[in-house]
Structure 1
């Protein structure tokens, strides 16, 4: 039995991925420059079996990740970015090695081109799962991470996923390729509607 558990532990460690870092290298985002960002969390659903958390606890971590990752681009264009938190599950303690619940979140993201007054991305849903590394791979993040650490990690993964998606769209569809963008504009991204339907976020349980 001990040998079996040791083997399982070694396999879990091999499967663990590198943790997403705040200061990773920039992507190619063309003329992207984030004029303003919005974060909406007040209507997010907390899934059953999740650690208890107020939706307001997500705002600052997501805003911080947005500024760190997307606020560093200084292209000639002007774009507004919004993220709405639809639902989340913060893992509790499980059974080490055998059953390790994983924290997850579902968000809708919006990217608005201020100059053309059009959405490049509107209500694009993303399913985000926390990184699995070292200790959390064996005993689960419910034991190895505090609630704040779980939220911080997911917030960074949300913005990391958005940044990578935007880079892919820039390469494949020519997003952020405008030239000679004006420095000012009067219209701001329209406040997105946050879905309260369980179906919109039940995917996190998949």
Structure 2
């Protein structure tokens, strides 16, 4: 798994184009969605090589809080529950600018449960690889400009945003949150 993790990390700069700081704007359309349970676990959580250390509890708390912040804005009438498993992370350490431009990343898997239908919407957990948001401070890597707590917060916000973007795609394609007898 870690080999895939670092393969994705190489592509990280390309994927870090999401803006998780849009909570003051209207929520994107998720139909009749309302967040029920928001469960984040770490049964197989691995720290990547050369990563700063953060406890599983700190990760669970941060990711749970950012998911709640993003999804409790939705006021639909149908409950959906999230099961999120954190799989691996790297919190970049300070390095040598340009030569070693440390970047941070997080891997998670999510399953969405439809409360009314009493079933999973995705049988196989969906994997998301989350990278730090690029800004003036992170162009050279967050390991040079941010504390481990700041990196964790940044990745947690990005994780919630990436989950939202994935749910928007599922709702458009499969109508997961439509307000119909079968949806």
The match for 2:21 is 21
The DSSP-based 3-state class of the residue aligned with 1:142 is helix
Aligned to 1:132: 134
- TM-score between the two structures when normalised by the length of structure 2: 0.83
Deviations 1:153-202 (A, max 9, x none): 11111110010110111112111013489xxxxxxxxxxxxxxxxxxxxx
Give the corresponding residue for 1:50: 51
Q: By how many angstroms is 1:19 displaced?
A: 5.1
Tell me, yes or no, if the aligned pair for 2:111 and 2:125 is still in contact at 8 Å. yes
Match of 2:69 in 1: 68
Residue 42 of structure 1: how far off its partner (Å): 4.6
Query: 1:59: how far off?
Result: 1.3
**2:85 paired with 1:84:** yes
CA distance in 2, matches of 1:128, 1:18: 10
Partner of 1:99: 100
Task: Give 2:31's aligned residue.
Answer: 30
**TM-score, normalised with respect to structure 1:** 0.74
For residues 100 and 135 of structure 2, the distance between their equivalents in structure 1, rounded to whole angstroms, comes to 15
Paired position in structure 2 for 1:167: 168
Q: Which contiguous aligned blocks of 4+ residues in structure 1 show a shift greater than 2 angstroms?
A: 16-20, 178-181
Give the secondary-structure state (helix, strand or coil) at the position aligned to 1:178.
coil
Give 1:151's aligned residue.
Answer: 152
CA distance in 2, matches of 1:125, 1:18: 17
**Structure 1 SS opposite 2:78:** coil
- Runs of 5+ unmatched residues, structure 2: 1-15
Structure 1 residue 100, shift from structure 2 partner: 0.9
> What CA distance in whole angstroms lies between the structure 2 residues aligned with 1:34 and 1:74?
8
- Structure 1's unaligned 5+ residue stretches are 1-15, 182-206
Q: Is the 8 A contact 2:36 2:81 kept in 1?
A: yes
Deviations 1:36-70 (A, max 9, x none): 11010253111111012211110111111111111
State the alpha-carbon separation in 1 of the partners of residues 113 and 54 from structure 2: 30
Task: Judge conservation of contact 1:31–1:77 (CA < 8 Å) in 2.
Answer: yes
Evaluate the alpha carbon distance shift between residue 17 and residue 95 of structure 1 in structure 2; reply closer, same or farther with a 3 A threshold: farther
